[in-house]
Amino acid sequence: NNTSEEMGDDITLLPDDRPSFWKMVTHPQYRIHRFIALAFMCFMGFGNYFVYDIPGSLQSKITSDMNVNTAAFGTLYSVYSWPNVIISFFGGFLIDRVFGIRLGAVVFASIVLAGQLVFAFGGIVNRFWVMQLGRFIFGLGGENLAVTQNTYAVSWFQGKELNMVFGFQLSFARVGSTVNFLVMGKLYNYLKTYYTGYTCLGIALIIASSTCVFSLLSSIILGFMDKRAEKLLNRSEGKTGEVIKLTDVRYFSFKFWMLSLICVTSYTAIFPFVGLGTVFFMQKYDLQFDDANTIDGFAYLMSAIMSPILGLLVDLTGRNLLWIFSSTLILLASHVVFTFTTWNPWFPVVLLGLGYSVMSSALWPMVALVIPEHQLGTAYGAMQSIQNLGLAIAPLIAGYLIDYKGYIVLEVFFLACLCLCVLCNVILFMSDAQGDGILNMSRKQRAEMQK
């Protein structure tokens, strides 16, 4: 890691020794330069998160233009997640041993771009299987690109700064998703005056690929910045530090598996819902296409704003178990309102965004409390793998339920997932209370215990 704290902007300088503004901007030992690098880290992932939810923002257009049902539409999300059930374990290995972080970022950003172009080409030639292939290729690069983002962050930032940087990256990821929901429907409607059917869809998807080109260029610029920083600061190329030993999985504690179940059951009621939400809002609340897209993407916008704030709160208070239990109840309340009332849809969407923000802020740090440090790479890989398995299967079930049973039965499915999540929370509470109780300790208690 860099030694900027010892070398740079945190030591007291005499007036004559103060560096010029130009030096602070161009030298990696100074905070300004590091935050310029952070901007490129965020830009590098922007296209990835923008195109991930394109099917969600164009659901009704894809099903009508490509003449497919909702079950087939759901596969556009499933085929992204299937490769990541396995690749989640090997992303760190590929970055550390095969490509290195700089080449890895460029390779994975290129795969994301290639996948999106194949997806768009499938629209232009009216071949749905080509669109599915494009999403599969995209899946091979998307999750690994996120791993390179995190690796760059650890390489450039330290300590308290690093927590803030992770929060900022997560926020910017959700900004990408939100912009997609705000822009893609309007772009499609604009192109509809010049083109029709699947041609219009394909051209909209090709224009969306420009976000992936932007991300690829950002990964190249960041690579040059990192190479230069390595020389100037005399540090080695960043590594994930992950040591993946699949045999470690058998030693993981009961608490870890409960956390993984909480992760998959809660995320199943968030991502597939948003992915299929536009048509739900149009049908249930009689909204126009653009309005339905705006409200569907709002949960992500909330997460972009709230996640860093909630991350800070969880850091300050501890009590992670209480936070994720509250989050599960908020998500459950959101889906109860969607299912059984006709209240203004903004209310349950705000609840959904709040529940998701709390869950993502409080859940992932808990893994480090129940797994030894040398096994963390494997543990996060396993948890992401389980999450992706859930996100591969859930859209298939959801699509089938919409086609043959309707949205109310789909909502009952989401409620069932969240009830299972509540049960896992209760079991984890009991298990933690019988053990050392570390998951629900305050920050102060935890610090004393870990001395």
Contact 379, 355 (CB under 8 A): no
Q: Using alpha carbons only, what angle is made at residue 186 by residues 219 and 182, rounded to the nearest 5 degrees?
A: 55
SS3 label, residue 318: strand
Residue 174 has pLDDT above 60, yes or no: yes
Residue 229 has pLDDT above 80, yes or no: yes
User: Bigger pLDDT: 415 or 92?
Assistant: 415
User: Bigger pLDDT: 229 or 16?
Assistant: 229
- Characterise 313 by phi-psi region: left (phi > 0), alpha (psi -120 to 50), beta (else): alpha
User: Tens of pLDDT along 131-170?
Assistant: 999 999 999 998 888 888 888 887 887 766 776 777 788 8
CA dist 408 and 411 (Å) reads 5
User: Tens of pLDDT along 299-352?
Assistant: 999 988 888 888 888 888 888 899 999 999 999 999 999 999 989 999 999 999
User: Tens of pLDDT along 426-436?
Assistant: 999 999 999 88
Tally of helices (H runs) and strands (E runs) in the chain: 22, 0
CA dist 208 and 397 (Å) reads 28
Report the candidate in 92, 137, 91 with the shortest Cα–Cα distance to residue 118.
Answer: 137
Q: How far is CA 18 from CA 6, 10, 29, 30, 40, in A?
A: 16, 12, 13, 12, 27
When pLDDT is averaged across residues 216-220 and rounded to a whole number, the result is 96
Domain boundaries, the chain: 1-240, 243-451
* pLDDT at residue 243, as a whole number: 65
With pLDDT > 90 as the criterion, what percentage of the chain qualifies?
A: 54
Q: What are phi and psi of 442, to 5 degrees?
A: -70, 165
Listed in sequence order, the DSSP H helices in 192-288 are 197-208, 210-233, 254-268, 271-275, 277-285
Whether 243-451 and 1-240 are alike in CATH topology: the answer is yes
Residue 450 has pLDDT above 70, yes or no: no
Lowest mean pLDDT among 67-71, 245-249, 253-257: 245-249
CA dist 59 and 62 (Å) reads 5
The pLDDT confidence band at residue 3, using thresholds 50, 70 and 90, is: very low
**Number of alpha carbons in the 13 Å side-chain half-sphere of residue 322:** 11
Contact 225, 37 (CB under 8 A): yes
When pLDDT is averaged across residues 101-124 and rounded to a whole number, the result is 95
Q: Name the one residue in this structure whose structure tokens are 């164009």.
A: 58
Alpha-carbon radius of gyration of the chain: 22
Class of domain 243-451: mainly alpha
Q: How far is CA 283 from CA 408, 415, 444, in A?
A: 11, 20, 49
What residues does 318 pair with on adjacent strands?
A: 442
The pLDDT confidence band at residue 4, using thresholds 50, 70 and 90, is: very low
CATH of domain 1-240: 1.20.1250.20
Contact 123, 208 (CB under 8 A): no
The pLDDT confidence band at residue 100, using thresholds 50, 70 and 90, is: confident
